[in-house]
Amino acid sequence: MVILTENAVMVIRDLTAQENALPDGGLRISSDPAAGSLEIAVAEAPAQGDEVVDSSGARLFLDPAAARLLDDKALDAAVDEDGDVQFEFAEQPG
């Protein structure tokens, strides 16, 4: 299962608060096989079949394909000087 770094937890909580997400809301990662990419968006709730990762109040929803792809990854996040968020996946430590 994907894990979240402390930075990712803070950024996800901030993003969902800014978007006025419902209490069950979070950040959703879905796969786009045609484009060979992942899409990230704030969601009000997980979709049917989503894997839910809850870490210190940050909720991450992964569609089944994204969950398989990211199973052994750690999600990190950073905010640059302009306030733009960047997410990065890396191998889980240890």
Q: What is the share, in percent, of the chain residues with pLDDT greater than 70? A: 100
- Domains identified in the chain and CATH numbers: 3-91 (2.60.300.12)
Residue written as tokens 């978007």? Answer: 19
Q: What is the pLDDT of residues 55-77, one digit of tens each?
A: 999 999 999 999 999 999 999 99
pLDDT at 19: 78
Distances (CA, A) of 42 to 72, 91, 92, 93: 23, 24, 24, 27
Sheet architecture: strand order including 3-4: 3-4, 73-79, 85-91
